Amino acid sequence: MRLRDYMIPELVLVDVPGSDREAVLDAMAQALCKAIPNLDCKTVWDGLIEREKKIATGLERGVAVPHTTLVGLEKTLLLVARLDQPVDFEALDGKPVDLIFMLLSPPECIATHIRLLARVARLCSAGGLLDAMREAKDEEALFRVVEEEDGRHV
């Protein structure tokens, strides 16, 4: 399983605006709905916020992994983003988040969803992925950084 198989270039974002978690999730939902017009932005946002209310998705080292399942989504998608400023995602280490891996799956693809969450967590704990993501100059470079690091791991 490779992250690349679930990423599309239009959903790799740099300098995502937002002064809080809700604003960041809204900006990312808007980008998703622009790339995939048949999705309803409010439904996407509501699913992400509902998940955040159950338990925050902030991990450690400036990373959050907001995720939800969406009826009507045709395949699992992974959005990757670097924020324009760190935001509180109630991370496990108490630090603000500036890198986001947002995972969206159809309800019938929950096994894939869980495996991808685990893969993201493993990749974020290994080597220099996060530093390289922070240094990427644009969306294309950010896409390549994630793709290359993902390709180095089994």
Cα separation, 87 vs 91, whole angstroms: 10
**Residues 127 and 149: beta-carbon distance below 8 Å:** yes
Told to judge if 67 belongs to the known catalytic residues of this protein, a careful annotator would answer yes
DSSP one-letter string for 4-62: GGG--GGGEEEEE--SSHHHHHHHHHHHHHHHSTTS-HHHHHHHHHHHHHHS--B-STT
Query: Which residue among 47, 52, 64, 67 is the active-site one?
Result: 67
The residues that bridge with 16 in the sheet, in sequence order, are 83
Q: Which residues are catalytic?
A: 67
